[in-house]
Each structure stands twice: as structure tokens, then as C-alpha cells.
């Protein structure tokens, strides 16, 4: 709980743009900085090689997938046509976008709404209730997984995409926490002034709090979209019909059908993996600042 | 939503219409979470306790069996195997990931302008869908043609059969897990950048060596971030599922082969019990055991950690 106290005093997270190049510290020779750069470059190569190999191998003919070297020679872009033709990748891509957008928008709106409740109103038992919100973060997914499945099953909604996002309509503990922090950093006079002018509570939320915490909302939006895009376990539990699969679930099918124990058409599996990964890489470059800020904020909880 | 209003009324019996309106709106704002809590947390937790005392296959009505599931769990060899695997993985992954992340963050802190570029490089694996990570490393770890053994071959090491030798499956998974440590790097970097420079300057004036500064300034100042990542990464590791499931499970052709025991993680075993064999009752008991294990480990970490963590200000 001590973390909370610390958090409430924190104002909006400063953007984590790379610090302007500082002059080397007194006594830190240039050669040492060069050494650091070399070490980092080596690490960067190690972290990048898997990507390079993935893309390059996905562009080689089947018998060359494991060939040495990092260049796509012989060049076989038709692997991608083959992958598109072999499995309904377009449908899965579309499903992933649909579910991802629904999940992200739902959790952002509902978490912001609830966060406003915790940030603006003062009522007895508020801290206890907020403690309960945080406590739900500690509960392993495995404990609620089975009864939650039974609920959706009872509702007749298994083998639909609804369970993949509908739970997000009720807010999510970590996001509520994050957004509340940002709302608490807004000057209260802003709201009081609007109240005096006769604004109702929904107006306070929608016209004042919501636009002012936009950066934090974007953090939630991109994080949840990414979480939804990469999730395997929920589609694994809820979906049977291949037409409804999201990309990770579909990719698992591709692996099982074309990988070991399957037809050993690794070029198809690799092309599928690239197709599932590229949108996330693009998302990162579009929303880099929000991802980095989001992660750094997570750490600040500590 | 009524859960919130009664105390308000009870304590302040003569609420003005305005205050009553405010209380109503407060309840309305909190309502989604309260409803969600009841449906997706409180309800399922209670249901899970009850289910763990029954035998239930979804098709037939649950049958009360008392503590049988828990007795079965004590005798289940796979519980020990999968829990052992999971703890082994966690015990290696978490410290390794923390040490490597800290090293990278310390380097990143000092390279100035290029920091943003390297940070992106280390973070991109985190963006890669876990299923794709599993597939990628299944091939990178391939004994004959995989890139990792080829690299080892270059330095004269005969790489092991990472994916087929039961003794090497877990180390292979750990290698894979270390590729995706970008979040931890960013958390450490943010913490390092928050350390006031004056402290280092003062330490330098006092003649502290680089190691002494690291040991007595840097480590205490970022201990909060270290502690946080220790706890969060441990909890996540104990629930490892997707990458390993992708690599070794869920495929009729390879399931039950050589490596499925060596790669069995606890949540994977639980998942199979629940959704493959429809042993919902037994799986619920397994879930509660996991809950207890996580609670105990987290409790110990918090107790020990509080002795070492330096909180800025008055906690």
C-alpha cells in the first residue's frame, strides 16, 4: 500500500525521450564509452538476429529454410501466396483486428469511467474498495479461468468471439489504477469551476478528465490491443470454429498442420509468423512513446 | 452499485439533495467495476472452491467428492513434475533476466544519443506474439539446423538437442525466455534515470570507486524497481503458458512424445486437465494449489525484500 502513497504524489509521467547526450562524466574516458557502445552493439545483434532469420527464412524455398546465411536466396516470395492460400489468414487477421479493437476500446472507456469514480468522488470505504481493485491483480488467471468458461458456456457464448473482449467492459484493475493516477494529477479546481458553471458529473468526466488524460488513455489502448493480439489462451478455450480464430490461434493451427508431425512445410509456418508479427512491429513504431511510457510507469509502482 | 451508497446514507442521515445526487453518481461510476468484480472475480472464486470439491465434466452435473481432488493431487506424479519444472524455470529465468536487463540498462544509460535506438531493439521481441516466439525458437533451437547450435559450432561447441533431449528442453525454454526481457530493461532504465546525479557527484568527491558507487548508490536507489520486477516476473513465470504450449503441446501428432513431460509447465497441465480431459473439478483444485504456491513465494519475497528495498521519502 505504501506504493499508493508514493504514486499519488507523482504527477503525470515525464516523457522518456532519450536524455540529450550528456558530456561524458568527469574522469570517464572516451574509450570507455566506446566499449559500452561495442557491448551494446553485440547485444543488439544477438537480439535482432532471430528477426532477421525469421524474415529471411520465410522468403526462401522449402529446402533452403534451414540453409546457412541470412539472405533470402534463393528468393521465394511465393511462400506468402502459399500461406494465404493454405489457411484463412485474411479472416484471422480481420478477426484479430476486430477483437483487438473491441477489447482495447472497451477496457479504455470502462477503466477510465471507473477511475474517475475513484479519483473524483470522496466516500467512506473508498480506499478499501480501491484496495480490492488492486488485490484482483494478484489473483492468478488460472483460478477464475474455469468458472468464467462455465459462465460463458451457460450464456451460450462459447464458440463466439464475445468472451474474448466482453470481460473488458467492466474495467481492468491495472488500467483503473494507472488512469486514476493521471486523473489525480489534474488540479481539482478545474472540476470545481465546471461544477460552479453547472456542469454535471458526466460532463466533468467526458469533457474535462477524458481529454486531459489522453496520453494515458493511449497507453491503455495500445497495451490492451497488443495484449489481445498476442493472446492464445482465451481463443484456445473459447473458439472451435476456425472461421472465428484470431491470428495466434490460427498460427498454432498452421504450426500443428505444417510443422513437426505435420507436413514439414516450414516456409508456410514462417510466413504466417511474419504476418502475425508485422502489425505489432508497426504498432510499436506508431505508438513507441506510449509503450515506453506505459512500461516505465508500471515500474514506478514499485 | 448499492454496495457503495448505504454507508453514505448511514453516516450522514440528512444528506442534501445535492449530496444525494453526488452519491448516486459515485455509485454509477463505480458500478461497472463492482458488477465485473462480482461476475468475474468473487463469483468465480467461490465457484472454483466449490468445483474443486466436485467431479465435473461440463456434460453431467457436478458430483460432490469432498476432498478427493486434493487427495488425488498429492498422489499425482505429474503435479510434482510440472510444478518442479515450473519452479526450476522460474528460479533460473527470473535472476538471469534481471541480471541481463540490469546490465543492458546500465549500458543504455551511458550511450547518450543512441539510447532510443538500442531501447527499441531490445523491446521489439516483446511486441512479437508469443505463438510466433514459440515457433521461431522451435526452429532456432533445432539441433541439426538451428541457428543457435550453428553459432555454438562456430566456437567449437557441439550444441545439445535442445528440443528433443529431456534434460535440455528446459534450458532451451529459458534461452527463449531471455529474448523477451525488454520490458524489464525499460523499467530499470527509467529507474536509473531517476537517480539524482548529485548523489554520484557526492560519492565521487568522497572517493568512491565505480564498484562502490554501483553497490552503495545505484543498487539501493533502484531497489524499488528491482523488487517490483522480481515479484512481477516471478508471478508471470509461475504462470508460463503460451510459448511452451505452442512448441510442445496441443498437437495430436507430437503430443505425448518424448518431450511433453520435460516441457510440462504447471498451467499447461492444469489447462489440459480442464479443457482437454474435462476434469473441471480436479483442475480447480490444481488452480488453488497454484494460488497458494504463488502467495507463499510472493509473501517470502516481500518479507525478505522489504529488508533490502530503499523507499525514497518516508515509504
Is a pLDDT exceeding 90 seen at residue A162?
yes
pLDDT at position B256: 58
Contact yes or no for B135/A254 (Cβ under 8 A): no
> Is 80 exceeded by the pLDDT of residue A48?
yes
If you average pLDDT over every residue of chain A, what do you get?
88
Rg (chain A; Cα; Å): 24
- Which residue ranges in chain B fall short of pLDDT 70? 1-14, 253-259, 312-315
Which residues 173-202 of B have a C-beta within 8 angstroms of A? 179, 183, 186-191, 193, 200
| H or E element at residue B64 | strand B63-64
Interface confidence, given as ipTM, is 0.90
Q: What grid cell was written down for A85?
A: 492460400
Closest CA to A136 of B225, B264, B1, B40: B40
> How far is the alpha carbon of B255 from chain A, nearest alpha carbon, in Å?
9
Helix (H, G, I), strand (E, B) or coil at B55: strand
Mutant choice from B27, B30, B280 vs A, greatest count of A C-beta within 10 A? B30
Q: Quick check: A253 contacting B, CB < 8 Å? A: no
Q: How far apart are CA B69 and CA B88, in angstroms?
A: 25
Burial letters A99-130, b for 16+ CB under 10 A, else e: bbebbbbbbbbbbbbbbbbbbbbebeeeeebb
Candidates B24, B131, B297, B315, partner chain A, best to mutate (most A CBs within 10 A): B131
Beta bridge partners of B54: B64
The CA-atom distances, in angstroms, between B184 and each of A5, B129, B190, B280, B301 are 23, 17, 10, 35, 18
A247 touches chain B (CB under 8 A): yes
Contact B120, B189 (CB under 8 A): no
Distance CA B88, CA A34 (A): 38
Q: Does A286 touch chain B (CB under 8 A)?
A: no
| Local structure of B71: helix, strand or coil | helix
Q: Are B39 and A151 in contact (CB under 8 A)?
A: yes
Environment class of residue A197 by beta-carbon count within 10 Å: exposed (0-12), middle (13-18) or buried (19+)? Answer: exposed
Tell whether B253 is within 8 A of chain A (Cβ): yes
CA of B126 vs chain A CAs: smallest distance (Å): 10
Q: Is A198 on the interface with B (CB under 8 A)?
A: no
pTM of the model as a whole? 0.90
Distance CA B306, CA B231 (A): 12
User: Within an 8 Å CB–CB cutoff, is residue A92 touching chain B?
Assistant: no
Q: What angle do CA B262, A54, B150 make, to 5 degrees?
A: 65
Residue from B84, B60, B79, B131 nearest B273 by CA: B79
pLDDT for the residue numbered B258: 53
Q: Rounded to whole angstroms, how far apart are CA atoms B10 and B278?
A: 48
What are the tens digits of pLDDT across the range A213-238? 999 999 999 999 999 999 999 999 99
In the block, cell 522480481 appears at B230
Cis ω before A4 (30° cut-off from 0):
no
Nearest CA in chain A to B145: A66
Residue B171's H or E segment, with its range, is helix B166-177
* Chain B residue with the nearest C-alpha to that of A116: B29
Inform me whether the C-beta atom of residue B215 falls under 8 Å from chain A C-beta atoms: no
Nearest residue, CB atoms, B254 vs list A232, A260, A296: A260
Cβ atoms within 10 Å of B268's Cβ, excluding its own: 22
Confidence of residue A126 (pLDDT cuts 50, 70, 90): very high
The alpha carbon of residue A265 and the mean position of all alpha carbons in its chain are separated, in whole angstroms, by 30
Question: What is the sign of the dihedral through the CA atoms of B110, A13, B313 and A4?
Answer: negative
Q: State the Cα–Cα distance between residues B150 and B139, nearest whole angstrom.
A: 12
Closest residue of chain B to A163, computed from CA coordinates: B40
Q: What is residue B54's three-state secondary structure? A: strand
Q: Do B190 and A142 count as a contact with CB atoms less than 8 A apart?
A: no
- Mutate: best of B23, B24, B28, B29, partner A, most A CBs <10 A: B29
Q: Is A211 on the interface with B (CB under 8 A)?
A: no
Amino acid at each position: 500500500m505504501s506504493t499508493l502513497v508514493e504514486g499519488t504524489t507523482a504527477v503525470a509521467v515525464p516523457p522518456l525521450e532519450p536524455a540529450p547526450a550528456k558530456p561524458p562524466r568527469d574522469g570517464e574516458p572516451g574509450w570507455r564509452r566506446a566499449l559500452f557502445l561495442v557491448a551494446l552493439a553485440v547485444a543488439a545483434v544477438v537480439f535482432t538476429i532471430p528477426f532477421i532469420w525469421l524474415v529471411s527464412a520465410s522468403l526462401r524455398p522449402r529446402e533452403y529454410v534451414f540453409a546457412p546465411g541470412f539472405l533470402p536466396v534463393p528468393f521465394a516470395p511465393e511462400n506468402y501466396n502459399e500461406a494465404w492460400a493454405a489457411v484463412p489468414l485474411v479472416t484471422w487477421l480481420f478477426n484479430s483486428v476486430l477483437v483487438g479493437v473491441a477489447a482495447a476500446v472497451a477496457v479504455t472507456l470502462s477503466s477510465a469511467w471507473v477511475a474517475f469514480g475513484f479519483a473524483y468522488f470522496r466516500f467512506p470505504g473508498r480506499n478499501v474498495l480501491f484496495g480490492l481493485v488492486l488485490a484482483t491483480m494478484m489473483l492468478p488467471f488460472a483460478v477464475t479461468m474455469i468458472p468464467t468458461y462455465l459462465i460463458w458456456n451457460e450464456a451460450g457464448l462459447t464458440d463466439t468471439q464475445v468472451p474474448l473482449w466482453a470481460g473488458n467492459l467492466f474495467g481492468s484493475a491495472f488500467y483503473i489504477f494507472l488512469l486514476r493516477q493521471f486523473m489525480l494529477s489534474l488540479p481539482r479546481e478545474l472540476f470545481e469551476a465546471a461544477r460552479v458553471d453547472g456542469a454535471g458529473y458526466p460532463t466533468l468526466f467526458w469533457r474535462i478528465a477524458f481529454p486531459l488524460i489522453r496520453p494515458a488513455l493511449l497507453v491503455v489502448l495500445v497495451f490492451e490491443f497488443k495484449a489481445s493480439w498476442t493472446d492464445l489462451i482465451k481463443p484456445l478455450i473459447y473458439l472451435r470454429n476456425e472461421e472465428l480464430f484470431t491470428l495466434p490461434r490460427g498460427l498454432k493451427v498452421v504450426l500443428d498442420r505444417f510443422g513437426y508431425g505435420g507436413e514439414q512445410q516450414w516456409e508456410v509456418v514462417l510466413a504466417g509468423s511474419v504476418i502475425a508479427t508485422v502489425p505489432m512491429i508497426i504498432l510499436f513504431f506508431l505508438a513507441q512513446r506510449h509503450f515506453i511510457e506505459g512500461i516505465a510507469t508500471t515500474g514506478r509502482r514499485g | 452499485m448499492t454496495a457503495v451508497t448505504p454507508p453514505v446514507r448511514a453516516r450522514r442521515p440528512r444528506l442534501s439533495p445535492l449530496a444525494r445526487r453526488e452519491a448516486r453518481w459515485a455509485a454509477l461510476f463505480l458500478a461497472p467495476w463492482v458488477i465485473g468484480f462480482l461476475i468475474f472475480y468473487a463469483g468465480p472464486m467461490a465457484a472454483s472452491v466449490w468445483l474443486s470439491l466436485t467431479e465435473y465434466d461440463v456434460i453431467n452435473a457436478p458430483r460432490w467428492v469432498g476432498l478427493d481432488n486434493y487427495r488425488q493431487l498429492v498422489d499425482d506424479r505429474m503435479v510434482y513434475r510440472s510444478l518442479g519444472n515450473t519452479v526450476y524455470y522460474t528460479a533460473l529465468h527470473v535472476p538471469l533476466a534481471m541480471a541481463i536487463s540490469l546490465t543492458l540498462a546500465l549500458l543504455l544509460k551511458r550511450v547518450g544519443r543512441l539510447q532510443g535506438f538500442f531501447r527499441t531493439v531490445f523491446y521489439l521481441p516483446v511486441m512479437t506474439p508469443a505463438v510466433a516466439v514459440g515457433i521461431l525458437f522451435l526452429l532456432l533451437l533445432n539441433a541439426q539446423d538451428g541457428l543457435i547450435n550453428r553459432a555454438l559450432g562456430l566456437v567449437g561447441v557441439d550444441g545439445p538437442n535442445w528440443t528433443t533431449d529431456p534434460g535440455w528442453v528446459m534450458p532451451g525454454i529459458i534461452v527463449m525466455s531471455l529474448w523477451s526481457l525488454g520490458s524489464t530493461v525499460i523499467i530499470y532504465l527509467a529507474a536509473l534515470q531517476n537517480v539524482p546525479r548529485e548523489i554520484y557527484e557526492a560519492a565521487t568527491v568522497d572517493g568512491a570507486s565505480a564498484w562502490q558507487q554501483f553497490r552503495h548508490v545505484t543498487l539501493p536507489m533502484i531497489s524499488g524497481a528491482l523488487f517490483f520486477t522480481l515479484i512481477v516476473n516471478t508471478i508471470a513465470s509461475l504462470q508460463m503458458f503460451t510459448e511452451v504450449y505452442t512448441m510442445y503441446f496441443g498437437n495430436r501428432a507430437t503430443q505425448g512424445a518424448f518431450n511433453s513431460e520435460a516441457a510440462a509447465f504447471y498451467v499447461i497441465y492444469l489447462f489440459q486437465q480442464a479443457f482437454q480431459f474435462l476434469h473441471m473439478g480436479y483442475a480447480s483444485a490444481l488452480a488453488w494449489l497454484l494460488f497458494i504456491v504463488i502467495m507463499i513465494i510472493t509473501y517470502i519475497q516481500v518479507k525478505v525484500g522489504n529488508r533490502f528495498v530503499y523507499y525514497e521519502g518516508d515509504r
